[in-house]
């Protein structure tokens, strides 16, 4: 969780939300949270479990790639 | 009845002793004590206020999710309880740090560590990460789902 907030502090474009999922059960269903932590970036990049810094940054950079984001979105809605 | 016992208060006071720049917490709650109360709003507000009492560098601004709907919109708050942690000042500087739900258990440590980080104004990320993040030009929302453990 700390990492998402570090990234938020480091960039004016990034917001980092801690979501205590037991208080928001509808989000647990929406984002298919079966285990924690679960990280969701711009709705479509979804990562299960703890993520090391370099791995999260790799995922994060996908937001700049429109084709990849469109593909992930299509996969999610399939 | 305080949420933080004497021992924890002492630990937090020590952890926050080195705060430099002031930090502002904007907490969104709703209709406490009334029919509209959200389950953890009262407890979350109490926790935030107890933490703020342990350092003169922390200011708390409690707002009503419905009554202050414009401010909630400004911060992009879409559920409560919510806490915005930002750099205090005139004007304060939103750093994009949000807590939805009560930061307890492991996330309590995150909250305290975040206070130190925001006060310091530096995330302490590695150079490759800083470089990558500088290339972000689009709005990004990272949601991390956690449970109280």
Instruction: Check pLDDT > 80 for residue B142.
Output: yes
The beta strand positions in A1-70, using DSSP E, are 14-20, 38-41, 45-48
Domain count, chain B: 1
The beta strand positions in B23-146, using DSSP E, are 23-29, 58-64, 82-87, 93-100, 140-146
- CB B62 within 8 Å of CB B29: yes
Give domain status of residue B141, yes or no. Answer: no
Burial (CB count <10 Å: 0-12, 13-18, 19+), residue B9: middle
Cβ-Cβ contacts under 8 Å for B27 (sequence gap 6 or more):
B44, B45, B48, B60, B61, B62, B63, B81, B82, B83, B84
> Are A20 and B102 a contacting pair at CB < 8 A?
yes
For chain B, give the percent of residues with pLDDT over 70. Answer: 96
Strand partners, B27: B62, B83
Q: Considering only CA atoms, give the Rg of chain A.
A: 13
Instruction: Check pLDDT > 70 for residue B30.
Output: yes
B77–A contact, CB cutoff 8 A: no
* Token code pair at residue B88: 């205090």
Alpha-carbon distance A62 to B43, whole Å? Answer: 38
pTM of the complete model beyond 0.90: yes
Give domain status of residue B34, yes or no. Answer: yes
Amino acid B147: pLDDT = 92
Which residue range forms the structural domain that includes residue B117? 6-133
> Tokens 């950079």 sit at which residue?
A61
- B110 to chain A nearest CA, in Å? 6
Give domain status of residue B146, yes or no. Answer: no
Q: What is the pLDDT of residues A21-56, one digit of tens each?
A: 999 999 999 999 999 999 999 999 999 999 999 999
> Is B109 strand, coil or helix?
helix
- Strands B82-87, B23-29: pairing kind: antiparallel
Amino acid B39: pLDDT = 85
Give domain status of residue B92, yes or no. Answer: yes
Reported for B7-11, long-range contacts at CB under 8 A and 24+ positions apart, including other chains, are B9/B50, B9/B54
Confidence of residue A59 (pLDDT cuts 50, 70, 90): very high
The alpha carbon of residue B120 and the mean position of all alpha carbons in its chain are separated, in whole angstroms, by 15
Give domain status of residue B1, yes or no. Answer: no
Site from A10, A34, A59 to mutate, B interface, most B CB atoms within 10 angstroms = A10
Specify the higher pLDDT residue, B34 or A77. A77
B34–A contact, CB cutoff 8 A: no
Q: What is the pLDDT of residues B72-96, one digit of tens each?
A: 999 999 999 999 999 999 999 999 9
Instruction: Check pLDDT > 90 for residue B38.
Output: no
Confidence of residue A78 (pLDDT cuts 50, 70, 90): confident
* Residue B25 belongs to domain with CATH number: 3.40.30.10
Give domain status of residue B61, yes or no. Answer: yes
CA A19 to each of CA A62, A67, B35, B105, B107: distance values in angstroms, whole numbers, following the listed order: 22, 28, 24, 13, 10
Calculate the average pLDDT of chain A.
95
Query: Structural domain boundaries of chain A?
Result: 20-77
Residues A56-66: what's their mean pLDDT? Answer: 96
Nearest to B40 by CA among B83, B5, B84, B95: B83
B 112-141: CB under 8 A from A: 113-114, 117-118, 121-126, 128-130, 132-141
Amino acid B31: pLDDT = 75
């Amino acid at each position: 969780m700390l990492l998402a907030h570090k990234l938020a502090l480091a960039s004016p474009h990034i917001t980092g939300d801690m979501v205590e999922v037991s208080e928001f059960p509808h989000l647990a269903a929406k984002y298919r949270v079966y285990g924690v932590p679960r990280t969701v970036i711009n709705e479509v990049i979804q990562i299960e479990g703890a993520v090391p810094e370099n791995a999260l940054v790799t995922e994060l950079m996908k937001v700049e790639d429109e084709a990849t984001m469109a593909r992930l979105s299509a996969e999610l809605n399939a | 009845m305080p949420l933080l016992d004497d021992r924890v208060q002492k630990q937090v006071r020590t952890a926050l002793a080195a705060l430099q720049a002031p930090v502002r917490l904007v907490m969104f709650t709703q209709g406490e004590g009334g029919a509209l109360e959200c389950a953890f709003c009262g407890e979350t507000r109490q926790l935030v206020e107890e933490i703020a009492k342990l350092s003169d560098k922390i200011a708390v601004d409690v707002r009503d999710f419905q009554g202050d709907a414009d401010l909630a919109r400004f911060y992009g708050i879409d559920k409560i309880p919510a806490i915005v942690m930002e750099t205090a000042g005139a004007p304060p500087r939103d750093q994009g740090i949000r807590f939805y739900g009560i930061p307890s258990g492991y996330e309590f440590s995150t909250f305290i560590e975040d206070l130190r980080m925001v006060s310091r104004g530096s995330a302490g990320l590695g150079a490759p990460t800083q470089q990558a993040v500088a290339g972000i030009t689009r709005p990004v929302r990272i949601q991390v789902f956690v449970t109280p453990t």
